[in-house]
Amino acid sequence: MSTKIPLSERMRPQSILQYVGQKHLIGENTMLRNAIDQGQIPSMILWGPPGVGKTSLAYLITQELGRPFFNLSAIQSGVKDVRAVIQKAEELRKFQQPQPILFIDEIHRFSKAQQDSLLGAVEKGLVTLIGATTENPSFEVISALLSRCQVYVLENLSKDELIELLNQALKEDEILKDLPIEVKEYEALLRFSGGDARKLLNIFELVVQSVIHNPQPITNVLVASLIQKNPAKYDKTGEQHYDIISAFIKSIRGSDPNAAVYWLARMLEGGEDPTFIARRLIILASEDIGNANPNALLLANNCFQAVKVIGMPESRIILSQTVTYMASCQKSNASYEAINKAQSLVRESGDLSVPLHLRNAPTKLMKELSYGKEYQYSHAHKDNFVSQEYFPKALQGTVLFNPGNNPAELKLREYLKRNWGDKYNY
């Protein structure tokens, strides 16, 4: 069994029918599958954990459409490489060739300047962009480019899909199909791969190489003895990823710094990206602490910036400081509840007119129509406050923000009560 091409590469699907997983995207009558069948795909970002088929899907889309294909790696390519591809695309257009597909692996590693260099080509339709990322594109892809792309979320392959992939390799791979291989147990293979299909196939190939000269069934014990490391305590691409981050967040929300720092350690020891943890802390600072301690948001944001600059292993100290502080803070979800209520109200009430006195009046006609006429400038009054109506008429007196029962927000409640009296029932 000697080949320089790894099993994971040999098993790359050559057609949509061979592709395993992501039925919610390319199953029959799904939006993306219909777009492929019609030959009219949008520029897109494929977002998902490692080893779920992002690169393979991009390749198969190109094969199905029969278009020219350009492939760039964000790790190795720069602005010069992007411009070279765009120039080739312009030349193809001159000769009335099909619109090429530009695939950029790990697009989240592209700098802002590199992403900016793509905008014009995407806007003009010179290329159809397919970017692959393991990171949340909301954070890692510039908004101008993201707004021009459809985001498709790829999911971890299920246990059955991973086993199907192994069985497919045994039946179809040019090397394995002629070998007397018996897989008796799958659990260890799946556990060590962590839901990563590429990693699964590479591990399987390693195991197969060992049993060729010593024929025996592939069991959990055999796999564990061959893979020289302990089973992962934290699967950062599988179900435990979501379970442990949930336990982490709920421990901070529940004001238990001891449990919170334990779950933090579980994630760090399992190889979780520390910036992912830091982002969650920023969200939690507003959702669960809010105005009960506004410093929590400042600390969380500074933590995120510091983690990006410092990196591991020192980032663990910064994360620990932030986590233990936030877990020990007073809690309030008043801001979170307020925006939820406000958005529900907007959906229910529709586009209510802005009161005339609150409207901008940049033109003579607007002034003649009384735009802004009766507006009172708060800073011109005692204590920088004047009682006037800011809601649309139909919503006057609506309470959306209800300060929590903690020292910081009780001060806010007192201030609002002093200004508004009984209007909002503070």
Rounded Cα distance between 144 and 156, Å, is: 28
pLDDT tens digit sequence for 302-354: 999 999 998 888 999 999 999 999 999 999 999 999 999 898 888 888 878 88
Rounded Cα distance between 145 and 148, Å, is: 5
Q: What is the pLDDT of residue 3?
A: 57
Beta bridge partners of 73: 105
pLDDT at 1 over 60: no
Q: What is the pLDDT of residue 233?
A: 45
pLDDT at 14 over 80: yes
Q: What is the pLDDT of residue 231?
A: 42
Sheet holding 101-105, edge to edge: 69-73, 101-105, 128-133, 44-47, 150-153
- Letter string b/e over residues 216-255, b meaning 16 or more CB atoms within 10 A of that residue's CB: eebbbebbbebbeeeebebbbbbebbeebbebbbebbbee
pLDDT at 67 over 70: yes
- The predicted model gives 82-103 an average pLDDT of 85
Query: Which residue has tokens 């101008």?
Result: 144
Res. 232 pLDDT band, cuts 50 70 90: very low
pLDDT tens digit sequence for 181-222: 889 999 888 888 877 888 899 889 888 888 887 888 898 888
Q: How many CB atoms lie within 10 A of CB 6?
A: 13
pLDDT at 230 over 50: no
Beta bridge partners of 103: 71, 130
The pTM score is 0.54
| Whole-number average pLDDT of the chain | 85
Higher pLDDT, 3 or 138: 138
Q: What is the pLDDT of residue 420?
A: 86
Percent of the chain whose predicted confidence (pLDDT) is above 90: 23
pLDDT tens digit sequence for 129-149: 999 988 888 878 888 888 889
- The predicted model gives 168-184 an average pLDDT of 89
pLDDT at 405 over 80: yes
pLDDT at 36 over 80: yes
- The predicted model gives 350-378 an average pLDDT of 78
- The predicted model gives 384-407 an average pLDDT of 85
pLDDT tens digit sequence for 259-299: 899 899 988 888 888 999 999 999 999 999 999 999 999 99
pLDDT at 244 over 50: yes
**Rounded to an integer, what is the distance from CA 317 to the centroid of its chain?**
25
Q: What is the pLDDT of residue 130?
A: 92
Res. 2 pLDDT band, cuts 50 70 90: low
Q: What is the pLDDT of residue 108?
A: 85
Task: Fill in the DSSP letter of residue 148.
Answer: T
Q: What is the pLDDT of residue 236?
A: 52
